[in-house]
Structure formats: C-alpha cells, structure tokens
Amino acid sequence: MSRASLHVSITGRVQGVGYRAFVEEQAVSLGLSGWVRNRRDGSVEAVFSGEAEVVEQMIETCRRGPRHAVVDAVTVLGEAEAQDGPFLVAPSL
C-alpha cells in the first residue's frame, strides 16, 4: 500500500457553511492525518495524509462538501510533508 500526503486548496462558498467541520468529520472517519483551515481570501486549505487511495477519496469528498457549500474547485497544490496523529482544525491564516 502506498501512502500520500497532499496539500489542497478549496474555493467557492466554503466559509460560514460548516466546511471545516465537514472535512474534519470525513477525514477522521477515513483515518487520515493532517489539518484544515480557513484562509483570509475565502478559501479553505488542507493537508491529507494516509493511504493514497483514501487521500484521493477525501479529495473527491471535498468536491461535494457539506449541504450549504458551493465548491468551485479543489486544487492539489502539491505533495506535503507527511502528517501523523489526529486530524486537526488549524487556526485561520
């Protein structure tokens, strides 16, 4: 099994709609490590670490988002440093 750690940016109406809590819940349920946070520009940023197939599944989940979100794009910014431990909601940046 291969592991992956990807840094992503999510744009659209993704703040004020429970998007971070949704991402945290989904990532925890999938057994991923990493973090999610809001950005001042209105986007959400995240790092997902775990089995490569599960990380890809999480990225697809991000494209749907919670019920009130409108996701315009999920962009993989590149590989990230592998994360260990629980998935966290990080302070906004």
Catalytic (active site) residue 20:
yes
* 3, 13, 20, 40: the active-site residue: 20
CB atoms closer than 10 angstroms to residue 57: 16
Q: How far apart are CA 47 and CA 14, in angstroms?
A: 16
Catalytic (active site) residue 38:
yes
Q: Known catalytic residues?
A: 20, 38
